[in-house]
Chains A and B, each alone.
Chain A
């Protein structure tokens, strides 16, 4: 495509090589001024690398960058900022106990002649931008007191304060509720109408359909083309991204649940700071069904899982597995009752990264006689057990038994955990954010595995911050808000909007 001032950003034939790995291979990107342009790709496809090059964090080995039709060389983030490029990272970079104003001016402080911080002027500057763009943000609120959606707006304000005309948003909706996502889309369109250009990095198709004008697709470092969003469909985008046809709807038969396997009654849990996070929660999961818990992060999901696993104390109430109380015992006892959990943070709770894949695959079960007589471990048996899991669950690279777990990609690490937990043949399987950070192909695998486990007769509790996931996979959908289940529905009997309202504490149920 020709270089023209019509385009805010043009990146031509960008190639970036890390060692022997080509992250980007002659990728093109042409972003028209005053549009929302989405960059779609699976994890590791190279979309973040491309944006990091634009923001000056990496340098391209080959290729040119043009801003408003002029060739530029971006040496670092400071150059990028001076060219009017701003970036909002997926994980917010905010100081929790600072106010909104303090966070916005941090690193670009307004000082009087003697080098003293001029907070009054800073506050006025911030207020001016807040009003100009119609953000509903209180400049004096502390970050720790405002919602995640607000925090994101503060991040956007930070970029605008530095004079950004081109905004890069990295996975902006990952942490938001449906209502907050709607609000974000509104904000994006508003910013565009005020002359800004927005690039969003995402692997969520729905979001692209609702917010973007154009979408460029990257697959394994290759540029797959740019499409006009109004002329395409989710299915087309998905197949372009993955390179094969992906089944976006989760296929499953009707659940045939039996007796209650997991029963939680009046559970109350307090976190380390002494705040009651789970407040008299009641929940039942039957064998052969998937109960999904929808809710925004921070409404007691973590404490619920911790209490089930006996990682923290339940102040009141009971948790029964197959009729036996397991609360306030030990993780070992919970596992012995055939309840296993796929943890939300795989690297923190699920894996010992410096251990080999084989060692990780017996983390819970290394004590069994199967893996060595008496006090000794039999590594040959562990290895052959692992080989079976690797083959069955297609963990890559194949033959990775002796590789360190840290060498596997995120998706394969997750597969390794799921393979391990499923090999336990549990009666109850808790899946907490099982698809976090995974791409479409891997998500499909996780969902299929959960459904297969359900069909085997396991009771499955799926806790996810992704409303779509809960709605697609669960047989019963429960909503958690402020540590309580505020609504429970059969799949198909409730709309996304109703659930979203409940998740945000609205409505009576």
Chain B
């Protein structure tokens, strides 16, 4: 029992409890709709983890939402709500596509150049939102939502423009292959490569059937660096101080305006990186006409909240999220159950992680109950030792004590 309560007091407990509740709710919905929950979950797991290539795809899907999640979590820890991750992501894809189409250099220069242009795009857009907040006091949520749409239409404008449009398609021209960041893109398709891979079937499957790329590793490093930046550097100290108490930070000589802009710049840069890595890492390696937001930024919000806004926590949380999304498609194929079930499940999980106070309260309640039971037992023992009260009386006390306690808690 002690272990249970001390576990419940840890921050991760609320995430795990929320995930469990999410599965439970999904099971109820599935059962109500006439599908076997156990078989559906089995399909979900095998769809996400059943084959090496599935696992690789989960990592690929997790990459952009890990980064947007880190961006949101980073901003959140410094008191800003970057709901504009979506727009910053899109600008990242636009700029890295343009640079990737127009410039063709050896990969060692091309890749950093293309990726950095995406990062720069996101950073500038983020900084602009921060600037509007710092100088004119316009709330970042409003400007972020606006820029999300502006970026969506900017993307469509670039795709449709004469310079970049790929004839007879809904997308822009692909970037030059020198900017591709898949693992061994040429070797794996060459005869020698094929021959070598024949001996390792799982690797062959992963490399040839997916766009496995460097993205996730980069993203995980960024998550760790963002965590270190916040917790261990002077800049992070300033940003967090501003986030928790702007007035006290200002009073103690911290430049609040600059902090807000810096924070949004970093958050935007991470979103831009997400966009750039998607362009360089997965086909079609370019931007396409968007009918609606793709949701990379918004899914980043969910990832960050499941992670309790810890940047490093976004790593497992993005994998869970990507696993659910990717495995959810199998649920639809195998069971015929609509993949909306998965969205209900994700929604439930996010909803319950948004109530982080619940598990410590639960822990206190358990502790209190146990303490009062122990007291009652002690009293009973003492009473029976002195012979003042019959044992039955003590046992009765114990019951009333416990029920009183429940009432009080209620």
A residues apposed to B, CB below 8 Å:
309, 311, 330-332, 334-335, 341, 343, 348-355, 359, 363-364, 366-367, 372, 375-377, 379
Within 8 Å by CB of A376, from B233, B250, B253, lies B233
Given A375-B233, A375-B235; A348-B248 close (CB under 8 Å): yes
Q: Does B157 lie at the interface of the complex (its beta carbon under 8 Å from any beta carbon of A)? A: no
Contact between B237 and A331, CB atoms less than 8 A apart: no
12 A–B contacts, CB within 8 A, in A order? A330-B253, A331-B252, A331-B253, A332-B253, A334-B253, A348-B245, A349-B247, A349-B251, A352-B241, A363-B241, A364-B252, A376-B234
- B249 surroundings in chain A (CB, below 8 A): 352, 363
- B252 surroundings in chain A (CB, below 8 A): 331, 335, 363-364
Q: Does B135 lie at the interface of the complex (its beta carbon under 8 Å from any beta carbon of A)? A: no
Tell me the bound Cα distance from A332 to B238 in angstroms.
13
Q: Kindly supply a per-residue 1/0 record for chain B positions 241-284, scoring 1 wherever the CB is within 8 Å of any chain A CB and 0 otherwise.
A: 10011011111111100000000000000000000000000000
- A354 surroundings in chain B (CB, below 8 A): 244
- B237 surroundings in chain A (CB, below 8 A): 359, 366, 377
Contact between B233 and A351, CB atoms less than 8 A apart: no
Q: Does B232 lie at the interface of the complex (its beta carbon under 8 Å from any beta carbon of A)? A: yes
What is the minimal beta-carbon distance from A321 to any residue of chain B, in angstroms?
A: 15
Contact between A350 and B232, CB atoms less than 8 A apart: no
Tell me the bound Cα distance from A348 to B248 in angstroms.
6
- Residue pairs across A and B with CB atoms within 8 Å: the count is 64
Q: Kindly supply a per-residue 1/0 record for chain B positions 218-246, scoring 1 wherever the CB is within 8 Å of any chain A CB and 0 otherwise.
A: 00000000000000111111101100110
Contact between A355 and B255, CB atoms less than 8 A apart: no
- A332 surroundings in chain B (CB, below 8 A): 253-255
Tell me the bound Cα distance from A153 to B237 in angstroms.
47
Residue of A nearest to B237 (CB): A366
Given A366-B234, A376-B233, A377-B232; A331-B251 close (CB under 8 Å): yes
- B251 surroundings in chain A (CB, below 8 A): 309, 311, 331, 341, 343, 349-350
- A335 surroundings in chain B (CB, below 8 A): 252-253
Within 8 Å by CB of A377, from B233, B245, B253, B254, lies B233
Contact between A375 and B241, CB atoms less than 8 A apart: no
For chain B, residues 288 to 345, give those with C-beta under 8 angstroms from any C-beta of chain A.
none
- A372 surroundings in chain B (CB, below 8 A): 234
Residue of B nearest to A362 (CB): B237
Tell me the bound Cα distance from A359 to B251 in angstroms.
15
Contact between B232 and A376, CB atoms less than 8 A apart: yes
Contact between A363 and B234, CB atoms less than 8 A apart: no
Count of chain B residues near A, Cβ 8 A: 20
Closest 3 pairs (CB-CB, A-B): A332-B253, A363-B252, A364-B252
Residue of B nearest to A364 (CB): B252
What is the minimal beta-carbon distance from B50 to any residue of chain A, in angstroms?
A: 44
Tell me the bound Cα distance from A337 to B313 in angstroms.
42
Contact between A352 and B234, CB atoms less than 8 A apart: no
Tell me the bound Cα distance from A343 to B237 in angstroms.
21
Tell me the bound Cα distance from A376 to B229 in angstroms.
9
Contact between A352 and B245, CB atoms less than 8 A apart: yes
- A341 surroundings in chain B (CB, below 8 A): 251
- A366 surroundings in chain B (CB, below 8 A): 234, 237-238
- B234 surroundings in chain A (CB, below 8 A): 366-367, 372, 375-377
- B255 surroundings in chain A (CB, below 8 A): 330, 332
Tell me the bound Cα distance from A348 to B246 in angstroms.
9
Contact between A350 and B244, CB atoms less than 8 A apart: no
Q: Kindly supply a per-residue 1/0 record for chain B positions 346-366, scoring 1 wherever the CB is within 8 Å of any chain A CB and 0 otherwise.
A: 000000000000000000000
Tell me the bound Cα distance from A375 to B231 in angstroms.
12
- A331 surroundings in chain B (CB, below 8 A): 250-254
Tell me the bound Cα distance from A359 to B237 in angstroms.
8
Tell me the bound Cα distance from A485 to B234 in angstroms.
41
Residue of A nearest to B371 (CB): A20
Best-surrounded residue of B235, B247, B248, B252 (most CB of chain A within 10 A)? B252
Q: Could you list 10 further interchain pairs (A-B, Cβ under 8 angstroms) beyond the known A330-B255, A363-B241?
A: A331-B250, A332-B254, A334-B253, A350-B251, A351-B245, A352-B245, A352-B248, A353-B245, A367-B234, A376-B233
- A309 surroundings in chain B (CB, below 8 A): 251
Within 8 Å by CB of B253, from A350, A353, A364, lies A364
Contact between A350 and B248, CB atoms less than 8 A apart: yes
Tell me the bound Cα distance from A334 to B250 in angstroms.
12
What is the minimal beta-carbon distance from A202 to any residue of chain B, in angstroms?
A: 30
Tell me the bound Cα distance from A343 to B244 in angstroms.
18
What is the minimal beta-carbon distance from B238 to any residue of chain A, in angstroms?
A: 8
What is the minimal beta-carbon distance from A290 to any residue of chain B, in angstroms?
A: 22
- A359 surroundings in chain B (CB, below 8 A): 237
Tell me the bound Cα distance from A435 to B356 in angstroms.
36
What is the minimal beta-carbon distance from A92 to any residue of chain B, in angstroms?
A: 23
What is the minimal beta-carbon distance from A41 to any residue of chain B, in angstroms?
A: 28
Within 8 Å by CB of B250, from A311, A351, A353, A375, lies A311
- A355 surroundings in chain B (CB, below 8 A): 240-241, 244
Tell me the bound Cα distance from A334 to B233 in angstroms.
24
Residue of A nearest to B251 (CB): A349
Tell me the bound Cα distance from A353 to B232 in angstroms.
19
Contact between A353 and B233, CB atoms less than 8 A apart: no
What is the minimal beta-carbon distance from B168 to any residue of chain A, in angstroms?
A: 52
Tell me the bound Cα distance from A364 to B251 in angstroms.
9
Tell me the bound Cα distance from A351 to B234 in angstroms.
17
Contact between B248 and A351, CB atoms less than 8 A apart: yes
What is the minimal beta-carbon distance from B5 to any residue of chain A, in angstroms?
A: 15
Best-surrounded residue of A309, A341, A364, A366 (most CB of chain B within 10 A)? A366
- A352 surroundings in chain B (CB, below 8 A): 240-241, 244-245, 248-249
Residue of A nearest to B229 (CB): A375
For chain B, residues 98 to 138, give those with C-beta under 8 angstroms from any C-beta of chain A.
none
What is the minimal beta-carbon distance from B332 to any residue of chain A, in angstroms?
A: 44
Best-surrounded residue of A311, A341, A349, A352 (most CB of chain B within 10 A)? A352
What is the minimal beta-carbon distance from B216 to any residue of chain A, in angstroms?
A: 27
Residue of B nearest to A371 (CB): B234
Tell me the bound Cα distance from A335 to B254 in angstroms.
11
What is the minimal beta-carbon distance from B76 to any residue of chain A, in angstroms?
A: 13
For chain B, residues 348 to 389, give those with C-beta under 8 angstroms from any C-beta of chain A.
none
- A363 surroundings in chain B (CB, below 8 A): 241, 248-249, 252
Residue of B nearest to A346 (CB): B248
What is the minimal beta-carbon distance from B297 to any residue of chain A, in angstroms?
A: 27
- A349 surroundings in chain B (CB, below 8 A): 247-248, 251
Tell me the bound Cα distance from A343 to B251 in angstroms.
9
Residue of B nearest to A420 (CB): B252
Residue of A nearest to B364 (CB): A19
- B238 surroundings in chain A (CB, below 8 A): 366
- B236 surroundings in chain A (CB, below 8 A): 377
- B248 surroundings in chain A (CB, below 8 A): 348-352, 363
Tell me the bound Cα distance from A335 to B244 in angstroms.
21
Tell me the bound Cα distance from A376 to B245 in angstroms.
22
Tell me the bound Cα distance from A394 to B236 in angstroms.
30
- B241 surroundings in chain A (CB, below 8 A): 352, 355, 363
- B235 surroundings in chain A (CB, below 8 A): 375
What is the minimal beta-carbon distance from B73 to any residue of chain A, in angstroms?
A: 16
Tell me the bound Cα distance from A355 to B230 in angstroms.
13
Tell me the bound Cα distance from A355 to B248 in angstroms.
12
Contact between A353 and B247, CB atoms less than 8 A apart: no
